[in-house]
Amino acid sequence: MKALVKEKADVGLWLKDVPEPELGISDVLIKVKRAAICGTDMHIYNWDDWAQNTIPVPMVVGHEFVGEIVKVGSNVIDFHPGQIVSGEGHVVCSRCRNCMAGHRHLCAHASGIGVNWPGAFAEYVALPMSNVWEHRPGIDLDVASLFDPLGNAVHTALQWDLLGEDVLITGAGPIGSMAAAVCRHAGARHVVITDVVPERLETAKKLGATRTVDVRNQNLKDVQAELGMIEGFDVGLEMSGNSSALNDLIENMCHGGKVSILGIQTKGAEINWETVIFNMLTIKGIYGREMYATWYKMSVMVENGLDISPVITHRLPYQEFQEGFDLMNAGEASKVVLNWEA
């Protein structure tokens, strides 16, 4: 089969012929229809320090996808050929304390699909049946391919009660922009999102942000006054991985405000702990999705009108993957979806 492979320890990916995945007795074989490029894939493509320390070479990469089941193992009774599915990107051990307690998203020994488990930038991918999520009939395949990153947005946003609340999101990348859509869908009043890239802010506005802020020339205190806010934001979602943005968020929270942090901060990043303590803020780190509460919430919200399609800026046949990665590296794309049926 054709697959995008990190073939050698260097910048780039290579379209290669590789063997089809072997199917275990509890596995499901999926013919990939769409697969999206994400930030993790960019780290792998650019072969940065994280990738060099994490990715085994050679490795089929990619983990955001949707496809059709074509074969199941002999132990599989809940799935059958013809179903349209995506896959949870973390393969858990099932034996650690958290897995045994039903908290699989907290597994201490999880493997990542497309990271250290064969990925989905390929014609076929095989997954354990416990990682397969069936989509509701008629779902747009491009949207379905984004359930992995949408799950990050949903998991981050829905940590807190959002109905009637004022929300600040720092970072208008794809996940931050989708989080804006989730917050509006969940009943937030003001959804303010910050960034330094006008195109990203415009995408966030299309997805439901009620106010976009270019922090190069706008101040959040002034924005609060403009909106008639008196005591600061109730909920903060840090999506940028930028310490200045995180501190800006903390300084603009109300007393008792709730903060979710998804953006990975650089080593040694500092925050104003006095503000955190004296303003009695609650800060929670977020990684991945809850298995499978987040997936259920995603499906229900999409079924009931949540529209994340504006986050997709480019659709390409998989043979043109290089253009997609070039667009991402140039900052000219939000989500690029590769069509593996092309």
Q: Tell me which residues are annotated as active site.
A: 40, 43
> In this structure, what token pair is assigned to residue 133?
């999520």
Cβ-in-10-Å burial (0-12, 13-18, 19+) of 291 comes to: buried
Torsion angle of the four alpha carbons 77, 28, 300, 105, in this order, in degrees rounded to the nearest 10: 100
The total number of residues written for the chain in this structure: 342
Kind of pairing, strands 191-195 and 211-214? Answer: parallel
What distance in Å separates the CA atoms of residue 314 and residue 269, rounded to the nearest whole number? Answer: 34
**Per residue, what are the HEC states of 269-336?**
CCCCHHHHHHCCCEEEECCCCCCCHHHHHHHHHHHCCCCCHHHEEEEEEHHHHHHHHHHHHCCCCCEE
> In this structure, what token pair is assigned to residue 304?
């009931």
Return the sign of the alpha-carbon dihedral for residues 300, 303, 305, 306: positive
